[in-house]
Structure 1
């Protein structure tokens, strides 16, 4: 009698497991379908909001794109007392005290071509004339250094830079110069994620036909994504029925055929 009851129970659990497993096999996940995407693009050049983008690496759930800003701003910072090269010579950046910082100087870095000595904090140059040596203070030995003065807006040549460079700002501790030149920018897209293109954040979707769709209708995408989440939750529940029913059937079989102690 015990084994008959166990057999019936095992059959019920197996039927539950088989039914759940069969449903899993035929169930289909709902697709995400955008009703009216703002843009549908494929690999290659495409125009979005008046800017041309080159779409690359377009896969099943991600893509990349590049675009060129023809007049991107570049800057370089020169610190006070830094040594910089200007017109082939070395200069020290000097920022004089001023009420409104708008100007700075480049003072020539002068090199002494003779031996020197230090005495009480003063540098002397050893000069030999007619077989005699004499000491001349370094400042007296050297000519007046060349000084270049600049203000905000002045042109400022930089080595290995063919772009027109100008002084953008001056503070008590640094000078900023700027120039404008082309710059390649990169964008990345991922399924269901936002990417700002121009000034607009777009949500990306990859329908699986070798294209990428961009939309600002987030509710349209989210409604289909929610349906997919519900589908996965139900599939997980069915797998739970399959596993638990199988375990219960196995346990009943083992218990039914255990030898009796009486």
Structure 2
């Protein structure tokens, strides 16, 4: 009698496990499918999105990369006081006046001496040899007055190896900022479900990748509700599937336990 009752219970648990397992086998996960994406692109496409042209160099499974060019990107160079910079082919020292709010600075020529020097009584002398005679000439007299160039905020200033129009943007006690504008290539990345800011207005687009005939396509949308509803359906599917797996596992364990208990020797 004990084993007969156990057999019936085992059969019930096995039916539960089999039914749950069968349901898992036929159930299909809902897909994320955007109804009306704003843009659909593949590798090599060059769409113009809100005034900016993007070159999609890569579109793969779950990630993509696009490049775009800012035709008037701002570049800067910063000089600190006492820095040595090149101007018109020569070396100059940056000099900022000791003021609370300076608006100008100077480039002072770095003078070099091509002869030996000697210090006497705190004065530097250059050793000059002419016609077999040796004499000492004060360094300041030998090199002469240094060349000095003065600049104010807003002035144009030429930089070496830079064909762009460069301007003195600002002057402070710590930094002289030089600016110019030129093209700059930028890169933007896309990942499944992540936002990417595109266009001149900086609109955030949500990325979704889909397998279509011929390969992977990238879909961009501003309809977040459409995407999120599909993702929520997938999460609910996984939760229910996990519940069914729980039934399969628990039913199998219960059936095995009943079988073991049914074959225990009787005490009577």
- TM-score under structure 1 normalisation? 0.91
In 1, distance between residues paired with 2:186 and 2:133?
A: 67
In 2, distance between residues paired with 1:106 and 1:147?
A: 6
The match for 2:218 among 195, 207, 212 is 212
SS at match of 1:211: strand
SS at match of 1:208: strand
Is 2:229 aligned against 1:228? no
Judge which range, 142-151 or 118-127, deviates more: 118-127
User: How many residues are matched?
Assistant: 262
In 2, distance between residues paired with 1:124 and 1:34?
A: 82
Instruction: Note the residue ranges of structure 1 that are not aligned, 5 or more in a row.
Output: none
SS at match of 1:227: helix
- Alpha-carbon deviation of 1:118? 3.2
- Alpha-carbon deviation of 1:205? 1.6
Is 2:33 aligned against 1:39? no
In 1, distance between residues paired with 2:204 and 2:122?
A: 64
SS at match of 2:180: strand
In 2, distance between residues paired with 1:253 and 1:119?
A: 110
The match for 2:245 among 232, 235, 239 is 239
SS at match of 1:154: coil
In 1, distance between residues paired with 2:72 and 2:217?
A: 30
Structure 1 residues 61-110: Cα deviation after superposition (integer angstroms, max 9, x where no partner): 22111111111111111111111111211111111234642211111111
Instruction: Note the residue ranges of structure 2 that are not aligned, 5 or more in a row.
Output: none
CA-atom RMSD, angstroms?
A: 2.0
What's the counterpart of residue 175 of structure 2?
A: 174
- TM-score under structure 2 normalisation? 0.89
What's the counterpart of residue 200 of structure 1?
A: 203
What's the counterpart of residue 28 of structure 1?
A: 28
- Alpha-carbon deviation of 1:213? 1.8
- Alpha-carbon deviation of 1:134? 4.4
Q: Is the 8 A contact 2:100 2:173 kept in 1?
A: no
